[in-house]
């Protein structure tokens, strides 16, 4: 069954299951929020169980992006290059932002919650299950908040 993706927060575990991903939550070193790997032809995602819920969601969506973007790539070297390059990581972050905070849905929800920038960002972050920082960046990208749109990826796994 296709997971519920009509309204946030989106069912990422259901999406991963639908895609055939095995997802495990385990303690990982602080510098490793999660990873994607194929083991004996089966796709696995491991997420740091000690991370905050927003970080786990961002990381799972990011690893789903790695999986989807690697579909059809048969060369192990090409697959590794996609998963282990800055450009591949940026592509996955863009995919992740759109998956967790689709532009059309963010615009609609932002209109529903009103005009107060600080409050809007916090309310929407909670609604979408993302960090306040990730939501502020997304709102700026969509010209719904003043300020710079994107400053690069931070250590917490969210954009910005």
pLDDT in tens, 134-152: 999 999 999 988 666 544 4
pTM over 0.85: no
pLDDT score, position 119: 81
In a domain, 1, yes or no: no
Give pLDDT tens digits for 69-109: 888 766 666 666 666 656 567 888 999 999 999 999 999 99
Q: Which of 54, 79, 100 is the last residue of a domain?
A: 100
In a domain, 6, yes or no: no
Is 119 found in the same domain as 90? Answer: no
Is 29 found in the same domain as 55? Answer: yes
| Percent helix / strand / coil, the chain, rounded to 5 | 50, 10, 35
pLDDT category at 153 given cuts 50, 70, 90 is very low
Average pLDDT over residues 123-131: 94
Average pLDDT over residues 13-26: 95
pLDDT score, position 6: 67
Q: Which of 82, 100, 118 is the last residue of a domain?
A: 100
What's the rounded Cα separation, in Å, for the pair 30 and 154? Answer: 13
- The residue segments making up the domain with residue 58 are 12-100
Q: Structure tokens of 99?
A: 């998956």
- Alpha helices, DSSP H only, in 39-85? 53-70, 76-83
In a domain, 42, yes or no: yes
Is 74 found in the same domain as 149? Answer: no
């Amino acid at each position: 069954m296709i997971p519920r993706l009509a309204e946030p927060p989106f069912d990422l575990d259901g999406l991963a299951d639908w895609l055939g991903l095995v997802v495990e939550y385990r303690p990982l070193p602080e510098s490793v929020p999660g990873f994607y790997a194929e083991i004996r032809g089966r796709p696995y995602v491991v997420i740091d169980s000690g991370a905050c819920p927003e970080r786990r969601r961002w990381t799972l969506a990011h690893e789903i992006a790695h999986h989807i973007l690697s579909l059809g790539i048969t060369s192990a070297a090409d697959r590794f290059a996609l998963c282990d390059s800055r450009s591949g990581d940026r592509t996955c972050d863009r995919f992740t932002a759109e998956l967790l905070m689709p532009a059309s849905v963010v615009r609609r929800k932002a209109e529903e919650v009103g005009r107060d920038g600080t409050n809007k960002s916090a309310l929407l972050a909670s609604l979408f299950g993302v960090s306040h920082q990730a939501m502020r960046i997304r709102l700026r990208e969509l010209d719904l908040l003043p300020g710079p749109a994107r400053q690069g990826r931070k250590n917490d796994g969210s954009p910005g």
